[in-house]
Structure 1
Amino acid sequence: MKISKVDVILFCTQCNEDTDHEVIYFDSEIESLTCIECGKTTGLNHSELLSQYKHDWLTRIISKPHRMTEEMRKNLYDFIKNLPARMITKPKRVYNEVEDIKKIEKD
């Protein structure tokens, strides 16, 4: 799961003109649009978005042992073959997700 922020120019119905907007994506879906000029937000607010993201992240962490066990049962050879690389790259991926959350919380 990935949270990202993009600044774009869109038509604001409140301002009745094209203005800068901040678009927040959760994975590949738009979660909120905020007009920089008037502050009108459409969609989830940031705290709800971050709360949901943290909940999903915690759920993934808790379910990881079960998911790994299922992978092991399906194909032990591939599981063992890929495990060293996964153990090396996973901490970096988790770190990147935490940094994404921190960036969004600061904004």
Structure 2
Amino acid sequence: MAVQESFLRCTACEQEAEHQVVYAGRFVSEIQCTGCGAVTRLDVSEDYLPDLRQRISSKPGRLVRRLRTDPGELASSLPVRTLSKPVRMLQEFRAVWRSRS
């Protein structure tokens, strides 16, 4: 799950304001206006699982590419990323689950 800030026109208050955009994998699952607090949830559950399968199946190839281009960076980041991955996946699953309602 990733959260990014973006300047958008709010559909609730009709004002241009900063919004928090929540991604579940590659899909926008939630947009929250920081001005009025309105939340828009987008149901990504239908598309999420096929995308997750593709991301999992392509991971070995992406790791090999990173190993070839920058082995030092991969060696230093891999232990931390491996330990934090379950937490990141749980956050992503929660974002998908919330988008369903």
Percent identity of paired positions between Structure 1 and Structure 2: 29
TM-superposition CA deviations, 1:29-61 (whole Å, max 9, x none):
98xxxxxxxxxxxxxx84xx3211222122111
The alignment's C-alpha RMSD in Å is: 3.3
Q: Which residue of 2 aligns with 1:72?
A: 67
Q: TM-score, normalised to structure 2's length? A: 0.57
TM-superposition CA deviations, 1:5-43 (whole Å, max 9, x none):
xx95268xxxxxxxxxxxx9733898xxxxxxxxxxxxx
Code of the aligned partner of 2:70: N
Question: Which residues of 2 match residues 1-107 of structure 1 at below 5 A?
Answer: 9=12, 26-27=27-28, 46=43, 49-105=44-100, 107=101
Code of the aligned partner of 2:64: T
Q: Which runs of 5 or more residues in structure 2 are unaligned?
A: 4-9, 15-21, 32-41
Q: TM-score, normalised to structure 1's length? A: 0.54
Code of the aligned partner of 1:61: I
